[in-house]
Each structure stands twice: as structure tokens, then as C-alpha cells.
Structure 1
Amino acid sequence: MGTCWQRWHGRPAEEAQCTDGSPVGSPLSHCPHKAFWLCLSASLLLILVALGLTGHLRLSQLRSQSSQIVLITVPDQAGFPINQSAVVDLQNDLVTFSLVSTANKTSTVLFDLKRGLICYKPSEQDGCFLREMDQSDYDNVHALLRESPQKQNHFLLPGNDTQRQTQFVGVLMASQVDVTLLDAPLRSLCEDRSVHWTRRVEGPDKLRLVYFCIDICFPSNICVSVCFYYLPE
């Protein structure tokens, strides 16, 4: 495109010509100054909107991919298969087990790796129970995190190779937790219940009864039976 020139004094604007012979008002002429900046602003706005929508869609896809449901099947003591599910949230380092009892009641166990806590929500009780994770807990849960849920979402544990352990947990009734002070994952799980701290113990006093047990199986061929009882005040 040639450079336009116009004799501003003594010549009508409509007679202005470009060096290539085309009038200023033709499609070959430049946009006026204000129109140029309006066009540029509108183009940038459209680009920003498109980038924002693209980023939002990619973030939604990543979030959906980071949370997967894993099924774990293991035979019980009598050899009958037991199914339990675990939701693995890689983005937030959360693993949530759903355990169905023989009475068809569901208990929930949440492993919060970021905060190093385990939260038990049993079907047999009206409360939630917190415990700090120890090294064995991290090792067991990492078996789920190491195996990409996209590659494997169903673990079949052989009965002969599966180790079974029993852990005793004492409930500290004097240390009730304010639910509103808990972080979002724990607060959402226990918002309608009282929450108590617990700690690992060697075993209950012979005079005290075990109130309930929760069985959890991990892909590392380890099944843990966590049994709760109340410690003396």
C-alpha cells in the first residue's frame, strides 16, 4: 500500500489521493486513529476471553482427571470376596475409603496426606475420630498414589499373599475438636457429628470392651483392622 498524502489547506478532503492512485476513503486506506485503537482493543479483548475459556476448560479437565475411583477386592477370612472403593484425589493428596459392612452400612475413612491426619467416620457411631498418620499409614496409602489411577483402577488382592494386621485406637473423650476449626475436607466429612482425637495404643485394658472395628485393605497386600475403644478419663 502506498503512503497517503493530503493537502490540508486549500483542497477538499474528498479529493485527497494516495500515491497508488486510490482515494483515502477506499479499502486500501489506513483506519483513522481512533478507529484503529478501537479495533485493537476489541481484538485484545476477544483474545483474552478465548484464553480464559481455554484455561478454564483445561483446569476442569485436570481436576476431573486428578480424582479417580479405585476398586479393591480381597477375600475375607472365609474366602469370600469383599469389595471396597477408594476415591484418590491426586491434586489435594486425599484418599477416601468407603467400607461397606455385612449389615450393608457404609463407613468412611479419609487419609489427608497434606495435613498428616486420618479421619474415621464409622457407621456404628455418631461421631468422627481423628488420628495423626504414622509412617506405616503413609507407606500403605502411597501404594494407591504410586499406581496411576488412569492405568489401574481395580486391584485384586490374593488371599494367600495378603497380610492382616490389627491396630488398637483409644478415643480421648476429653479432647473434643471444634468442627468449624477443621480444614475443608475434614469439616465436610464430619459437619454433622462430634469429633474426638484418638491415638494408637498397644491394646485395650482387659476390663474395657472394643466398641467397633473398621477393616481397610491397601493395594500393597495389607489389610488393617482398626479397633476403637474409649480410654479412661
Structure 2
Amino acid sequence: PSLSTEDKGPAVSYQFPHKAFWVTLSATLLLVIIALSVTGHLWLRQPDAESLQVVRITVPDQTGTLINRSALVDKRNNLVTYSVTSQANHTSTVLFDVKHGSICYKPENRDTCFLRKMERSDYENVHSLLQQSTQQESQLVVLGNETQRQTEFLGVIGGSQVDVSTLEEPLQALCQHSSIHWTRRQNGPGKQRLVYFCIDICFPSNICVSVCFYYLPE
């Protein structure tokens, strides 16, 4: 027997759960974004931590007493920052900005920075530090009986004061509240030129350099 349309059961309609779907999708996307953000943050931070290395350099002074100097090596930015502590427990800073070819000297107890361009010997001296392993902290001993000691005289050029805003970022951070001057290498200070301070820097290549500053009569 045939059934008429009136004999069929009621039609069943299926409605897609739109609200539950969008809530689930939104929660999933939120979790994915948070996971990617955390992973990306850790990925960005890890190379910076690995690129920083503290090197402690032990070297005898003129009297034979061992003294410690330290260098912070930043491979990522090609920076080597020396901290040189005097016997009076005052610390001078020397920053080698290899990327931009500049050296910045900030003497102890002085609100002054002195700049000069890096030369071939400067690149050679800091190269060994930049090429070392990524070990977080290591120690180097510069042997006194094998150390080559030399003195460099840098003349502070008159009228060469520099605006800190024109410097690269690492130099700005070091010299933020200091007067800044350019210098140039000289053969010696001359009889009438006053040498008013020196900074002793020692490199892993067993070379120690005393950098002495004086003002040029310009």
C-alpha cells in the first residue's frame, strides 16, 4: 500500500551549532597565538644570551703583582667592552665597536668620553676574543715574561666635541651624560703637552697597551 504525504512522520531539521563552533575556534586560536608568542620570545632571547661572554684577563702589573681585568664580549653586535680597575678601585671602560670601527674610552671618575677610529692592530687584538667559544665565562692568563708592552699617545682634538645623539647606540649608552671628544694618534706628547691620565689594556695575544691622553694645542 502506498502512503500519502499526510502519513509521513514530521520532518527533522538539523541546525549547525554556530555558537559552540566559534567559541571553540576562538579559544584554539588564542592558545596558538600564546604558544607562538612564548616560543618566539624564547627564540629571540636565546641567541642574545649565548652571544654574551665574560672573559676575565689576569695579567701582572709593572711590579709583578697579578691584577684582574674583564671583557664583555658581544658576538652578535661585534662589541668588546673592557673594564679596567685601577689600584684605587676606580674602573675605566674601553669599548671596541668593531661593527662601526670605533673605540670609546671612558676614564675613571670623569664625565668625559674619548673616541678614535679603529686601526688594523686594534682589529687584530680583539679578533681572538670575538672568535672564542660561547662559554659564558672564561679566564685568560697573560704571561708576564711573554707580554709585549707599548704606549700609545692620543691627542684630544680641540673643538671636536660630539653630540651624543649622533653616535651609535652602544656609544650613546656609555656616554649618555658625558662630554665627548675625538682623538688622534700621536708619536708622543711633546715637552709642553700634559699627559693627564693613562689606561692600561691587555689583550689575549699577550699585548698590553698603555693609552695616554693629552690635549692638542689647536
> TM-score, normalising length from structure 2?
0.88
SS at match of 2:146: coil
Q: Matches of 1:133 and 1:64 in 2, distance apart?
A: 26
Deviation at 1:38, TM superposition (A): 4.6
2:37 is the alignment partner of 1:52: yes
Structure 1 residue aligned with 2:50, among 65, 68, 77? 65
1:188 aligns with 2:173: yes
Answer yes or no: is the 8 Å Cα contact 1:215–1:224 preserved in 2.
yes
Aligned-partner Cα distance in 2 for 1:32–1:10: 24
Relative contact order: is structure 1 or structure 2 higher (C-alpha 8 Å, sep ≥ 6)?
2
Alignment of 1:68-217 (within 5 A): 68-123=53-108, 125-150=110-135, 153-217=138-202
Residues 73 and 155, structure 1, Cα contact 8 Å, conserved in 2: yes
> 1:134-167, CA deviations, whole angstroms, 9 ceiling, x for partnerless residues?
1111110111111124076100111111111111
Distance in 2 between residues matched to 1:175 and 1:10, nearest whole Å: 98
Larger gyration radius, structure 1 or structure 2: 1
Match of 2:210 in 1: 225
Letter in 2 for 1:11: P
**Worse overlay, 143-152 or 75-84:** 143-152
Conserved in 2, the CA contact under 8 Å of 1:69 and 1:149? no
Give the CA deviation at 1:10: 6.7
2:10 — aligned with what?
11
Post-superposition CA distance 1:98-121 (Å, at most 9, x none): 111112111111111111110000
TM-score, length-scaled by structure 1: 0.83
Question: Is the CA contact 1:70–1:149 (under 8 Å) kept in the aligned structure 2?
Answer: no
Cα RMSD over matched residues? 2.2
Q: Distance in 2 between matches of 1:11 and 1:144?
A: 85
Tell me the CA shift for residue 48 of structure 1: 2.3
C-alpha distance in structure 1 between counterparts of 2:10 and 2:82, whole Å = 85
**8 Å Cα contact 1:68/1:88 also seen in 2:** yes
Counterpart residue identity of residue 31, structure 2: L
Q: How far is the alpha carbon of 1:179 from its aligned partner?
A: 1.3
Question: How far has the Cα of 1:58 moved from its partner?
Answer: 2.6
- Identical pairs, percent: 62
Structure 1: runs of 5+ lacking an equivalent: 1-8, 17-23, 26-30
Change (3 A) 1:191 1:216: same
Whether the 8 Å CA contact 2:54–2:136 is kept in 1: the answer is no
Bigger mean CA deviation after superposition, 108-117 or 142-151: 142-151
